[in-house]
Structure 1
Amino acid sequence: MKLSDFNYELPQELIAQDPLLKRSDSRLMVLNRATGGIEHRHFSDVIEYLNPGDCLVINDTKVIPARLIGVKEDTGASIEVLLLKRHDDKVWETLVKPGKKARVGARISFGEGKLVGEVIDIVEEGNRLIRFEYEGIFEEVLDELGQMPLPPYITHRLEDKDRYQTVYATHTGSAAAPTAGLHFTKELLAQIKEKGIKIARVTLHVGLGTFRPVKVENILEHHMHSEFYVIDEEAANTINETKANGGKIVSVGTTSTRTLETVADENGHVRACSGWTDIFIYPGYKFKVVDRLITNFHLPESTLLMLVSALYDREKILEAYKIAVEEKYRFFSFGDAMLIL
């Protein structure tokens, strides 16, 4: 399977730069796999496609302000550090720009010395392990000095940090938001519960995989970066009961999907556990748990587009994307949504 099989043309102006004033006002393209039909709705209408006894699975990870701008202590050169994966209290795996300035032993100062990082090792893909020095609580220092790590295609500065968080974000640790969840409001979630739809929470901390493009033409040679997940007893039981009673598992986003498909056995039974996943879902994959998917419109040639194509049909997904372009849907993180039934 070739990388070019997942390419499509996207006008630059359709890349959403800012979130809408109200989260659930975004548009919703509904793809019906049984009929091949397409509907154009608003996201608040998603409740019409959820039935009592179904289970909505959300990823409650919380994005940390993981982008730090500092200077090298010896030269004063500007340097950017993106926190990716926590190794212990003070050591993080990071992505550094420009990397050539971040040799082992290099010291970087942030906020005039409120936070200082020293490069202690170079790991795979050229990432750096950095040990941080600070006084007080790291999360509070980071909240003061860090910026939200918006994707490179978003050129506007985000005025309200909370708009790059879901309304149910709880467990800190992500370098990027699980963006399919950005469309939900607390009011909409309350209406969904009132209708008799269960909500199960899983956690997957979104890491480097979000920032890493596929660079090989044969996609089977692509290696996914591992990300940490947690699914507790309550969520596992809710999902298993839903399946046993004939309800649909509606996954919110590719991160929830990857978590569920990682922890399920061949019969679709989910167990409570935590660990690291590097699961790569592409066409030909047989889904064990997920019945339906709420997702955003993804970058050309991305692993996210491959996952969506695995759930439906690559050609039908690309045709839907072509229609989305014609209908001027908004794309990527702050863009519109798609529901695959």
Structure 2
Amino acid sequence: MKKIGFLSFGHWADHPSYQTRTARDTLLQSIELAVGAEEIGMDGAYFRVHHFARQLASPFPLLAAIGAKTRHIEIGTGVIDMRYENPMYMVEDAGAADLISGHRLQLGISRGSPEQVIDGWRYFHEDLADGETDADMGRRKALAFLKRLDGTGFAAPNPNPMFPNPPGLLRLEPHSEGLRERIWWGAASNATAIWAAQQRMHLQSSTLKYDEGGKPFHIQQAEQIRLYREAWKAAGHPGEPRVSVSRSIFALMNDQDRYYFGQQGTSVDSIGMIEADKRAIFGKSYVAEPDTLVKELAKDEAIQEADTLLLTIPNTLGVDYHIHILSAILTHVAPQLGWR
């Protein structure tokens, strides 16, 4: 059994083929999509976060709105770029959204990916400490965020406050019990996956990772997952960690599906450079009739290792069509693979 969710890229543009022409379109359709996904039995509604782009950025208003409209589905991010964040304010935002949703947030955070502008976090008045890289800064902020999520008081109260204080040091409010146990780290390398395990975060592994050995993408990703689980066990953390992988999977059910995705049917892994100096491997898309998909996906070692699968969707084709895409996987592919 696997949890199966969707991961929306959150694009909009004034393009004749898009159903998401504006930011409002994307936000409202994201809420509708999460509601529809819950109705068909999906386990998760996840959203990418990018700044300075016509894509979803500040996630917490959207997550809170989805939380108020749904009852069971997990609601998450993949991922929040911690370079841009104020960890203290983020604790408050996340706590509020988690309480509204009834403790269903699954927050993916990370150092972040290459952005639309150079050092975009500087425009958010964030800066590096002496000797830091931006990756160091992302981890530092992540640890500050985790530390304050546990609800321990740390701030000395005003002896003459506007409102009465509880005894002792004060914590950030609203506090959402248990949210600390639902934080994930998006790792692009084996080393960062191991670090995430040591910090007691779940693991998100996407459709790309640094090329560390030249093997096919799904094999490298499976190795990353095994290293992560070994590190979790070595750290002595209680419980079992969760691991998600993302995939572009489209079942060709009709002519419309073939029109949109049929040309991707021969997709293979690809190699590219990110941040100008890092060689990355990008996983292939899976596009075929359901019977063929079942055979191909059964060979994907990383999907077998993960407990959660996030289906990436383009988000620009309208809510009804995206529900069709997701339903096809749930109905015609997942049961044959033992995921349902």
TM-score by length of 2: 0.26
Higher normalized contact order (CA 8 Å, seq sep 6+, divided by chain length): 1
The structure in which a higher percent of residues are helix is 2
TM-score by length of 1: 0.26
The structure in which a higher percent of residues are strand is 1
